[in-house]
Structure 1
Amino acid sequence: MTREEVKIGFIGFGNMGQAIADGFLYTHTLKPSQMCACAVNYEKLKKNTEKRGMKACRDSKETVEQSDIVVVAV
């Protein structure tokens, strides 16, 4: 698997999860389509993922199913 193929999911997308995702985006390490996240407050999560071009997942199960690597950021 190459860097261009890897999918990363975030369980929890508060300050830490967003900072990590922003770092990947800022350095062009990953594209937004390679990342997804879930969080307790789905509406807030959607707002925070959409502005980055990422996918919002409804729960941790969906996040894990969509990801090769999972970052627990709670």
Structure 2
Amino acid sequence: MIDLVPGMRVVVRYLIPSGQATDALGMLLSADERTLTVDGKHGVVTIDRTAIVAAKQVPPAPVRRAPRQQP
């Protein structure tokens, strides 16, 4: 796994208790030898490193375009 530094935008694929994989996409709040904490669209999630399948830095979220004006 790459060096993940708090403040970078990341995607982390990890296993949940049912054995299925899920993703956390958002800002990395903290990283230590046991856990990663990601602030994503569905809230803050703390992930045990033993459950991580893959992780990487991703580019900033695209800027939302303004809605079109009706003529």
Question: Would you call these one fold, judging by a TM-score over 0.5?
Answer: no
User: Which structure has more helix as a fraction of its residues?
Assistant: 1
Higher RCO, Cα 8 Å, sep 6+: 1
Query: TM-score w.r.t. structure 2 length?
Result: 0.30
Q: Which has the larger radius of gyration?
A: 2
